[in-house]
Amino acid sequence: MSHYFDAAHRQHIETLRQRFTARSDWPTWLLLIGVYGGWFAIMLNSHWLGRGLSTVLLIPLLVLWLSVQHELLHGHPTPWIRFNKILGYAPFAVWYPYTLYRDSHLLHHRDEDLTVPGVDPESRYLTRGRWQGSSLFERSLHWLNKTVLGRFAIGAPLGLLALASEELQRLKNRERQAWLMWLTHGAFTLLMLWFIARYSVLPVWHYLLLISVPALSIAMIRSYYEHRPHAQPEQRTVLNEAGWPWRWLFLNLNFHLVHHDLPGLAWYDLPKVYRANREQWVARSGGFLVQGYGQLWREHGVSPIDSPEHPYH
């Protein structure tokens, strides 16, 4: 990336990194305080808020928490991996242990492997052999998952089933790290669910099925078309000019190519870097530009955006 842009743009990026805001990372600290404080405030006041309003408030808060965890694993607000792990370990979103998310996502950042099934852990594509060996029912699910409505409806369940299959196999293989991770995550999750049952109006099943799963489904919209197969790695990652509600929920990860090229750049600087040199970013992406999530919904709400079978692998 450094050779693609002119010296002025590289200097602009470096200037942003040297500001007090970036060095202190106070916006990310505020986010952390806000999410933790908001979660406990909603829980402790849920008897007054009621089940419905508590649910409406918690779902976007959990989506935001997933985005905050993403910042933590990329070195914000501190450069210390273990400290960030402590900050991000709260199992508010329930299903994915922080360390599992961190390790698999960092593997995903090997851009030369983006979208390659079996190599990129976040690939949404299948190899030719896997696709040809799929049943009609499995193929139908994969085609449905290639629509926006399908991704929202079944993306989370499919992801959780794949997670369960992979992690159960690791546990069966007696992988020590997997056992330690899941026992620790399970203990914290049980503690959180006890707190919910003891101090809130929400039943545990309600939090699990009607709050955490819908939050994961909304997060799935962000990853719906973040990457595409392409011969050039830099042209596999999208630039999505989304509106402000989505940018806030996803902490500007809609400018996804900027994030992949500059993974250490904080969430609040991604729009500045993109807008300072928009034409060159769009050219670098090979025109892989989306005008917000509304465009995806209008064009691919019920129509698959591409094939589940990877064209090269």
306 lies in a domain? no
Environment class of residue 223 by beta-carbon count within 10 Å: exposed (0-12), middle (13-18) or buried (19+)?
middle
Q: How big is the CA angle at 300 (ends 297 and 303), to the nearest 5 degrees?
A: 145
307 lies in a domain? no
Distance (Å, rounded) from C-alpha 310 to C-alpha 313? Answer: 6
| pLDDT of res. 15 | 84
Residues present in the chain in total: 313
**For helices 51-73 and 213-222, angle between their N-to-C axes, nearest 10 degrees:** 50
| pLDDT of res. 14 | 85
285 lies in a domain? yes
1 lies in a domain? no
309 lies in a domain? no
| pLDDT of res. 47 | 96
> How many structural domains does the chain have?
1
Ranges of residues in the chain whose predicted pLDDT is under 50: none
- Strand-pairing partners, residue 290, are 240
264 lies in a domain? yes
| pLDDT of res. 1 | 54
Which amino acid is residue 162, in one-letter code? Answer: A
| pLDDT of res. 313 | 62
60 lies in a domain? yes
Q: Are 82 and 73 in contact (CB under 8 A)?
A: no
Q: Are 254 and 246 in contact (CB under 8 A)?
A: yes
Q: Is the pTM here over 0.85, yes or no? A: yes
Host H or E run for residue 289: strand 289-290
- The residue range of the domain holding 133 is 7-300
| pLDDT of res. 5 | 75
161, HSE (Cβ side, Cα atoms, 13 Å):
6
Instruction: Write the pLDDT tens digit of every residue in 28-86.
Output: 999 999 999 999 999 999 999 999 999 999 999 999 999 999 999 999 999 999 999 99
308 lies in a domain? no
